[in-house]
């Protein structure tokens, strides 16, 4: 069956499912919410892109042990783990590389400028209020890295007088204690949350190191606002993540570093001016990503330090000219500084963007253009053009086209002895077509997309030899890829049972080998069923991961694949009172062997018991 025929059959089936599910009697479950896909609070019908959200209530029921546990429940988001919670992990959004996803916490860009990646294992789920995942061609709004999408994480927000406390114990001697409180001050409030957790862990890798790989992490966040008058508002946010994790690293030539300490933080202060027609925000922030790798039993190996400090200044504006015409624009500036023996250890990035959105009857049109200048790298101009047609109150179709880029990391450019300062940015061209439905008892969408990525950076021989006669390898812009996919999401209610369904088909082809990109699988499926009765609530999560291309890791000239797997999680909560709650969470209930990266094992069956108190 051809791709087009499969797509037509699937589209018809989904439309029939929408219609049938919408006719089932149930209590309405759809609530009005706002999202920030265009950098300002807007209702979903004003956004011309796919945005998935995870709210605090859902986070509580999922009882995750890492942020990637949350992200993996979303369609189009795939996770590769080097072990369990506390270990390093990477994500792929709609088949793109992990470095092609921009991650912000309370509006501050985080991640390592040396490695070009984000330490998801250092983020504390317990301190998160909300996650928004923006997909599709939106890099023209956000700048570098947003080729696959944008992940926005917002920390806990508590009103004055609200507070919470919780404790948890479970498998692998896992222990967690969390607390938070909200304080009022005039026409404003500040939230403070603290979380500490630790685990003895388990042996994450099949190699010569037969030991338990545990972790310990502390997370603190502060978030607040102060209304000065009807027009002016101040906001502030801060986060500290500090911890240690152990891993396996028995190399070909002997043992390597197998332990890491990290100390990451961010701060952000913003002022906002708002009238009926104009909103203007000025934000000043800083983030640090610091990681030290070592081996405690072999001090002679020394310590490897990776540290990035990023200062940023953002000025964003929204002007509502009429009820049908809106303009958004602003300036982003940042300075990245790194520690280490690099030829260049800092650079400035400047971006200027403008958006125009116009409503003409049932048509909603949007255009965005952005110019970015990255010091010592060629400048990039990105665009996004979108058009939506609203058939009626429930049905809408949206088409988008856009470009994006990813600036080379410091390691790519300047790593001592092997960097290539002649690299240019990786670039992308993205097309997206989405049909969506939003009714009283059902909401969902079906997206078809294509993303062509050029100038991908890959290590390659330079043609030169070192003093020992071996080939010299350096990063080079020699790779390209074409990604085509289908993404389906359904949320509906039948007889007080809530259902969430997500499916992703990704055909991510390497332009050189004509094979599926390493680490990708064609099919992923997620299904969640939840039910609340009296003081009880039950949540069952099912995740299917298709087989992954693992590359030729046996060096026999044949592509290897990781087996597909199924994972079932169960969460049961019981309300002792309105404030007190007990929860039992079982992960990998079927105790299936799960390998998402070669030789690295995810945990087997795990069980956790938590008790929490929430004062309103």
CATH class of domain segment(s) 3-615: mainly beta
Please state the φ and ψ torsions of residue 558, each to the nearest 5 degrees.
-120, 135
pLDDT tens-place string over residues 330-384: 999 999 999 988 999 999 999 999 999 999 999 999 999 999 999 999 899 999 9
Q: Residue-wise over 368-387: b if at least 16 C-beta within 10 A, else e?
A: bbbebebeebeebebebbbe
DSSP lists the bridge partners of residue 166 as 178, 612
As given in the structure block, the two tokens for residue 149 are 């999408």
Q: How far apart are CA 525 and CA 568, in angstroms?
A: 12
Rg of the chain, C-alpha, whole Å: 24
Would the CA dihedral through 509, 512, 514, 519 be positive or negative? Answer: negative
Task: Name the DSSP letter for residue 517.
Answer: P
Per-residue model confidence as pLDDT tens digits over 181-198? 999 999 999 999 999 999
Query: 509, 399, 519: which is closest to 137 by C-alpha?
Result: 399
As a whole number of angstroms, the distance between CA 467 and CA 612 comes to 63
Q: Where are the beta strands (DSSP E) in 375-470?
A: 380-390, 395-406, 426-438, 442-465
Nearest alpha-carbon partner for 58 in 42, 45, 43, 73: 73
Residue where the block lists tokens 């209930």: 589
Q: What token pair was written down for 223?
A: 């978030």
For 465-504, b/e burial (b = at least 16 CB within 10 A) is eeeeeeeeebbbbebbbbbbbbbbbbbbbeeeebbbbbbb
The per-residue pLDDT for 238 is 97
Residues of the chain whose pLDDT is less than 70? 1-33, 252-253
Report CA dihedral (491, 493, 499, 502) to the nearest 10 degrees.
-20
């Amino acid at each position: 069956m051809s791709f087009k025929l499969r797509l037509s059959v699937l589209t018809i089936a989904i439309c029939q499912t929408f219609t049938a599910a919408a006719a089932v009697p149930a209590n309405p479950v759809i609530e009005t919410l706002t999202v920030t896909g265009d950098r300002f609070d807007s209702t979903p019908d004003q956004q011309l892109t796919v945005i998935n959200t995870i709210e605090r209530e859902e986070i509580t029921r999922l009882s995750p042990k890492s942020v990637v546990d949350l992200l993996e429940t979303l369609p189009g988001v795939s996770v590769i783990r080097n072990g369990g919670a506390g270990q390093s992990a990477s994500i792929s959004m709609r088949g793109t590389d992990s470095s092609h996803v921009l991650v912000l916490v309370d509006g501050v860009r985080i991640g390592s400028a040396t490695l070009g990646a984000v330490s998801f294992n250092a983020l504390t789920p317990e301190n998160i209020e909300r996650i928004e995942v923006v997909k599709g061609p939106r890099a023209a709004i956000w700048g570098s890295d947003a080729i696959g999408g944008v992940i926005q994480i917002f920390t806990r927000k508590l009103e004055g007088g609200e507070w919470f406390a919780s404790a948890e114990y479970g498998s692998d001697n896992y222990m967690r204690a969390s607390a938070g409180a909200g304080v009022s001050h005039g026409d404003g409030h500040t939230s403070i949350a603290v979380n500490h957790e630790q685990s003895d862990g388990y042996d994450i890798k099949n190699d010569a190191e037969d030991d338990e790989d545990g972790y310990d992490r502390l997370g603190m966040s502060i978030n607040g606002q102060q209304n000065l008058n009807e027009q002016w508002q101040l906001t502030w946010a801060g986060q500290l993540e500090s911890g240690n994790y152990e891993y396996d690293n028995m190399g070909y030539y002997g043992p390597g570093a197998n332990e890491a300490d990290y100390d990451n933080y961010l701060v952000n202060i913003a002022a906002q001016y708002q009238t009926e027609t104009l909103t203007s925000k000025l934000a000043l922030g800083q983030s640090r990503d610091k990681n030290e790798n070592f081996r405690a039993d072999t001090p002679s190996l020394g310590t490897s330090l990776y540290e990035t400090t990023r200062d940023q200044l953002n000025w964003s504006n929204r002007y509502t000219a009429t009820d049908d015409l809106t303009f958004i624009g602003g300036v982003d500036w940042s300075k990245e500084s790194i520690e280490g023996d690099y030829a260049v250890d800092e650079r400035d990035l400047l971006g200027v963007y403008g958006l125009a959105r116009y409503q003409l009857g049932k048509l909603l049109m949007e255009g965005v253009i952005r110019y970015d200048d990255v010091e010592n790298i060629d400048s990039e101009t990105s665009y996004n053009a979108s058009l939506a047609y609203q058939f009626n109150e429930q049905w809408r179709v949206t088409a988008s086209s856009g470009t994006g880029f990813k600036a080379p990391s410091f390691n790519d450019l300047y790593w001592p002895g092997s960097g290539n300062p002649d690299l240019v940015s990786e670039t992308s061209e993205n097309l997206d077509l989405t049909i969506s439905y939003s009714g009283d008892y059902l909401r969902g969408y079906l997206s078809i997309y294509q993303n062509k990525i050029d100038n991908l950076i890959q290590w390659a021989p330079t043609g030169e030899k070192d003093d020992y006669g071996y080939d010299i390898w350096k990063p080079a812009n020699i790779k390209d890829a074409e990604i085509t996919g289908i993404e389906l999401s359904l949320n509906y209610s039948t007889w007080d049972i809530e259902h969430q369904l997500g499916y992703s088909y990704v055909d991510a082809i390497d332009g050189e080998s004509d094979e599926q990109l390493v680490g990708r699988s064609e099919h992923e499926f997620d299904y969640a069923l939840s039910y609340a009765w009296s003081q009880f609530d039950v949540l069952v999560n099912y995740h299917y991961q298709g087989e992954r291309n693992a590359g030729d890791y046996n060096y026999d000239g044949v592509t290897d694949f990781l087996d597909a797997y199924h994972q079932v999680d169960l969460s049961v909560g019981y309300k002792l009172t309105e404030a007190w709650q007990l929860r039992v969470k079982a992960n990998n209930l079927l105790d299936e062997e799960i390998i998402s990266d070669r030789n690295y094992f995810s945990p087997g069956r795990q069980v956790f018991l938590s008790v929490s108190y929430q004062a309103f």
